Amino acid sequence: MARSASRVVTYSPNVFVPLTTFCRNRCAYCGFRREEGEATLLSPQEVFSLVLRGKKAGCSEVLFTLGERPEVHPRARRELEGMGYRSISDYLEELCRHILRLGLLPHTNAGILDVEELRRLRRYNASMGLMLECASRLEAHRESPGKDPGVRLEFIERAGELRIPFTTGILVGIGEGREDRRRSLEEIGRLHERYGHIQEVIIQPFSPKPGTPMGSLPPPPEEEVLETVRMAAEILPPEVGIQIPPNLVEDVVPFLREGANDLGGISEVTPDFVNPERPWPGLPSLRRRLEAEGFRLRGRLPLYPRYARDPSFMSEEVRRVVSRLADEEGYLRPPQKD
């Protein structure tokens, strides 16, 4: 079935929580990870300070982004144990449980987890995510055991077996070629055809970070990113969203014309801690720009409308919050005036 052009463009108002910058991987382009002496692990007080600011600002999503398997670092283990947790997944489970009680929806990007960790976190997460990045082995991932393409594809498949609404994506400009990108999209499409759980695929252009091994390389040309969006629209099933991060391109409109239909999380509370040099666009100006081009910007939850209407993709705890936040179409309900 061919993908039809959408005039509705979605985004998720969120608060971004950088839970820890400890990470076992050493990706050549990453500016988020820190060495053990400089890495941080947020305390519950620091997490809920951000979460409550997000709730006050009208956010529906709490986005947890963190380094993979921080427990490989002795200091991270000591800090977790000092708070009463054996692992980062134990800590996340407790945080997400409390966030649901506050009436917000967690979305967790924690890297590679085992099946039991996935099962436990599913109960308290509206959706989860893991960037495939690339289905081919790349030099940029030489020191990153968690970036093995087979491991990542298996993880995405396990999420499908557990019926977890899932976000994945590819990175453009980190040493891969056009055929690598095509293969990556085909692998994602294959998993969705089998399990029906891929709600969106991010087409994310590489943004160089000073001080990293790839910090002196240029970002990919816009045409290369546009071509990748066109490729995604051709390969992916039509119900799978195609996301273009609005802070990583100069103008989203050309990408929407090529088939993108989502802008991902946009926060009026926190920066993009992975790309702090690239601020979010202001929502009023973004809305005006899209409306001038015939697009309609709509808020969504961290799970897409079709999943918000399907109870089989939610735990009872998540379903109770979704029922309060979603309208009859599954989009984010407009804020109620007192």
Phi first, then psi, for residue 142 (nearest 5°) are: -60, -35
Mean of pLDDT values over 239-255: 97
Flag whether pLDDT at 88 surpasses 50. Answer: yes
Q: How many CA atoms lie within 13 A of 235 on its CB side?
A: 21
Residue ranges per domain, the chain? Answer: 8-325
Residue 170 near residue 153 (C-beta atoms within 8 A)? no
Mean pLDDT of 220-247: 98
Tell which wins on pLDDT, 333 or 1: 333
- What would the pLDDT profile of 181-199 be if each residue is shown by its tens digit? 999 999 999 999 999 999 9
pLDDT of residue 322: 98
pLDDT tens digit sequence for 270-324: 999 999 999 999 999 999 999 999 999 999 999 999 999 999 999 999 999 999 9
Q: How far apart are CA 233 and CA 193, in angstroms?
A: 15
What percent of the chain lies above the pLDDT cut of 90?
96
pLDDT of 258 higher than 50? yes
Query: What's the mean per-residue pLDDT of the chain?
Result: 96
Residue 338 has pLDDT above 60, yes or no: no
Tokens found for residue 184? 């990556």
Binned at pLDDT 50, 70 and 90, residue 3 comes out as low
Q: Check whether 5 has a pLDDT greater than 90.
A: no
Answer yes or no: are the C-beta atoms of 226 and 255 closer than 8 Å.
yes
For range 75-85, the mean pLDDT: 97
Radius of gyration for the chain, computed over Cα atoms and rounded to the nearest angstrom:
19
At 12, the amino acid letter reads: S
Q: How far apart are CA 183 and CA 149, in angstroms?
A: 11
pLDDT for position 2: 57
Q: State the residue for tokens 């409109």.
A: 253
Residue 166 has pLDDT above 70, yes or no: yes
Question: pLDDT tens across 195-217, in order?
Answer: 999 999 999 999 999 999 999 99
* Residues 230-236, mean pLDDT to the nearest whole number: 98
The pLDDT value recorded for residue 6 is 72
Confidence of residue 336 (pLDDT cuts 50, 70, 90): low
The separation between CA 5 and the C-alpha centre of its own chain, rounded to angstroms, equals 23
For position 1, what pLDDT does the model report?
A: 54
**Whole-number Å distance between alpha carbons of 152 and 143:** 15
CATH topology of domain 8-325: TIM Barrel (3.20.20)
Grade residue 128 by pLDDT with cuts at 50, 70 and 90: very high
Q: 301, 332 in Cβ contact below 8 A?
A: yes
Which band of pLDDT confidence, cut at 50, 70 and 90, is reported for residue 8? very high
Query: Is the per-residue pLDDT at 337 higher than 50?
Result: no
DSSP string, 164-204: --EEEEEEESSS--HHHHHHHHHHHHHHHHHH--EEEEEEE
User: Model's pTM, two decimal places?
Assistant: 0.96
